[in-house]
Amino acid sequence: MNLTDSTATQIRAACSAAASAAPVYARLPISHRAALLRALADALLGARETLVPLADRETRLGTTRLNGELDRTVFQLRGFATQVENGTAQPLLDDPAIPGAPPLGRQRLTRIAVPLGPIAMFAASNFPFAFSVLGGDTASALAAGCPVVVKAHPGHPGLSRAVFDLAAGCLAELHLPEGVLQLVQGSGVDVGLALVRDPDIEAVAFTGSLRGGQALWREANARPRPIPFYGELGSINPVVALPAALQAHGPALATALAGSIVLGCGQFCTCPGVVVVRDDDLGQAFVRQLAEGLAAATPHAMLHAGIRAGFNAGVARLHGHAAVKTLVAAPAGGEAPGAHLFATDATSFIADEGLREEVFGPSCLVVTVKDLDETLDVLAAVQGSLTVTLWGADEDTPDNHRLVVAAQRLAGRVLFSGVPTGVAVTAAQQHGGPWPSSTNAASTSVGYAAMERFLRPVALQDAPAWLIQRRGQA
């Protein structure tokens, strides 16, 4: 299925409909907002038999993965519904008046949060359910009381339309304005630019490439009235495999890491792109086991030709690099790309920025280090990342303290076991790290704190009782 690009008039109409719906939707009783989220979840579940095959035809991600992703998306919509019911989307902090002169004396202040208004949401190619039309950004914006204008990803146009039609049916059934969810589409940059520039859009949520995200972020800042831009961009997700962990579980960790690298053909923002190991017998054995695991892996085809071309260029760059050894490679021509493993030393890694760039796909670069200091130097050279994984840093030692501080400085999530792929939807989750992995490191695009992106605090001074009871939803 091919969809025609939305015209400027259609984009304007979508944003205008969202703006008209915004005050109606924001004032909706909280139970109705939750009911919409639950209805959307039910609609997805009910259409599984149609949606998953359609998604598979368009993305080649396989029905097992896509069924799991649909379950995750349903779980997420229901989770946000529960948050709405619990009041998390409508926080209230009340400071009573204190008689007397300032600074102690004060009027009554009640801090609430108000929805920003229409959100532009850019769907991702690699999660056709979970980061697309009814994915996490949409669920969190709707939970926060904001309408959403989705820019469908051209990688799965038929699925985007089908899911949108389901959602439109839910809105109609619940007698909610169509403007609460709108869909625009475009394969070039123009539709995205028009959306970010639209005066009715109050914030942008984006998941995608560093280049595309940065361009749209600049556009959001260049508006006469700049708006928040929440971009989740590229990340190389370093894994540090310390001797203690390799001694205890080397082979199991090698198998787990190989699985994480090839999962979804490496098309995950949390795919581990760098593994840091000591240049000793344990480290060498681990790298051999990792290489065996990757050589035996059979990743599926990539999402589209553009991603594949980028991957081929990335591995070719490493393959031809004087300071890089190719440990596992596959011919560039097959339908699926095949896993790749490369190796370099800390000095070369630190010296060449090109070695620290993300290669989106099933490829990993081993960086061998002499000691802890070199490990820290390697981490200091890496740009902001979504995750850092530290295997074997469990003991309360000065060395581990230094590693933890370096990892926290670099990333939004620090793992002490397991692999970075697989991002749980929960209140404590943080999926967003320092620039350039995110444009706003204080925000998350996964988990319930994602709602905060679309709310703004307002302090009501001496507010009437009826308004406080309604948490400002006048």
Which are the catalytic amino acids? 232, 269
What is the Cα–Cα distance from 378 to 284, expressed in whole angstroms? 18
Among 172, 252, 309, 424, binds a second copy (CB under 8 A): 424
Among 100, 103, 320, 331, binds a second copy (CB under 8 A): 103
Binding of a second copy at residue 45 (CB under 8 A)?
no
Nearer to a second copy, 247 or 408 (CB): 408
Stretch 263-282 residues interacting with a second copy (CB under 8 A): none
Q: Which two tokens stand for residue 230?
A: 């929440």
Q: Which stretch binds a second copy (CB under 8 A): 88-96, 148-156, 187-195, 335-343?
A: 88-96
Binding of a second copy at residue 430 (CB under 8 A)?
yes
Least distance between a second copy and beta carbon 116 (Å)? 8
Binding of a second copy at residue 415 (CB under 8 A)?
yes
Please say whether the dihedral angle defined by the alpha carbons of residues 62, 63, 65 and 66, taken in this order, is positive or negative: positive
φ, ψ dihedrals at 202, nearest 5°: -105, -15
Q: Which stretch binds a second copy (CB under 8 A): 179-187, 241-249, 329-337, 446-454?
A: 446-454
Binding of a second copy at residue 72 (CB under 8 A)?
yes
Show the binding pattern over residues 455-474: x = contacts a second copy (CB under 8 A), - = does not: xxxxxxxxxx-xx----x-x
Least distance between a second copy and beta carbon 229 (Å)? 10
Strand arrangement, sheet containing 181-185: 181-185, 148-152, 119-122, 203-207, 229-232
Stretch 287-306 residues interacting with a second copy (CB under 8 A): none
Stretch 121-150 residues interacting with a second copy (CB under 8 A): none
Least distance between a second copy and beta carbon 307 (Å)? 24
- 318: which residues sit within 8 A by CB, 6+ positions away? 324, 326, 340, 342, 355, 359, 363, 365
What is the Cα–Cα distance from 450 to 164, expressed in whole angstroms? 21
Stretch 354-413 residues interacting with a second copy (CB under 8 A): 383-384, 393-396, 400-402, 404-405, 408-409, 411-413
Question: SS3 for 337?
Answer: coil
What is the Cα–Cα distance from 139 to 37, expressed in whole angstroms? 7
Q: In the chain, what is the greatest distance between 2 CA atoms, to the nearest angstrom?
A: 78
- Cα–Cα distances in angstroms (integers) from residue 414 to residues 250, 255, 389, 467, in the given order: 20, 20, 6, 42
Among 29, 169, 354, 422, binds a second copy (CB under 8 A): 422
